[in-house]
Structure 1
Amino acid sequence: MSEPAFAAAVLSDAPPPVGADRFEVYRGSVTGALTATLREAFPAVRRLVGDAFFDAMAREFLRAHPPRSPIMALYGDALPGWLARFAPLSALPWLPEVAAIEQARREATHAADAVSLDPARLAEADPDALRLAPHPSVRLLRTRYPALSIWARNAERPDLEAAPAGEVLITRPALSLQIAPAPNGTADTLAALSQGTALGDALPQGTDHAAILACLFSAGALIERPMP
Structure 2
Amino acid sequence: MSTTDQTLFRAAMMDPAAPVPASLTDGAGRPAGRRFSVYRNNVAVSLTEALIEGFPACYAVLGDEMFRGMAGVYLRQHPPASPLMARFGEALPGFLDAAPQVAGMRWIGDLARLEYALRQSYHAADAEALSPETLAAIPPEDLGSTRFALPPSRRVLRSEWPVLSIWHRALDPTAPQAQPGAEDVLILRPDYDPIPHLLSPGDIGFLDALAGGAPLAEAAEAATEQTPDHDPTPILTLLMQNQALLPAQEA
Q: TM-score, normalised by structure 2?
A: 0.81
Instruction: Report the secondary structure of 2:143's partner residue.
Output: coil
**Correspondence for 2:234 among 211, 217, 221:** 211
Distance apart, 1:157 and its partner CA: 8.1
Q: Distance in 2 between matches of 1:113 and 1:158?
A: 34
User: What is aligned with 1:196?
Assistant: 213
Q: Distance in 2 between matches of 1:48 and 1:58?
A: 14
Q: How does 1:100-119 map to 2 (within 5 A)?
A: 100-118=113-131
Distance apart, 1:170 and its partner CA: 1.0
- Residue range with higher mean Cα deviation, 14-23 or 160-169: 160-169
Segments of structure 2 that go 5 or more residues without pairing to the other structure are 25-31
Q: Distance in 2 between matches of 1:200 and 1:9?
A: 58
Q: Is residue 2:50 matched to residue 1:37?
A: yes
**Correspondence for 2:151 among 118, 130, 135:** 135
**Correspondence for 1:3 among 2, 6, 21:** 6
User: What is aligned with 2:84?
Assistant: 71
Q: Is residue 2:250 matched to residue 1:227?
A: yes
- Residue range with higher mean Cα deviation, 137-146 or 167-176: 167-176
More RCO (CA 8 Å, sep 6+): 1
The alpha-carbon distance between structure 1 residues 130 and 157, as it changes in their structure 2 partners (threshold 3 A), is farther
Instruction: Report the secondary structure of 2:53's partner residue.
Output: helix
Q: Contact 1:10–1:27 at 8 Å: present in 2 too?
A: yes
User: What is aligned with 1:93?
Assistant: 106
Counterpart AA for 2:66? F
Q: Distance in 2 between matches of 1:140 and 1:160?
A: 23
Instruction: Report the secondary structure of 1:174's partner residue.
Output: coil
Segments of structure 1 that go 5 or more residues without pairing to the other structure are none
CA RMSD of aligned residues (A): 2.3
Q: Contact 2:166–2:178 at 8 Å: present in 1 too?
A: no
Distance apart, 1:155 and its partner CA: 1.4
Q: Distance in 2 between matches of 1:63 and 1:14?
A: 11
Q: TM-score, normalised by structure 1?
A: 0.88
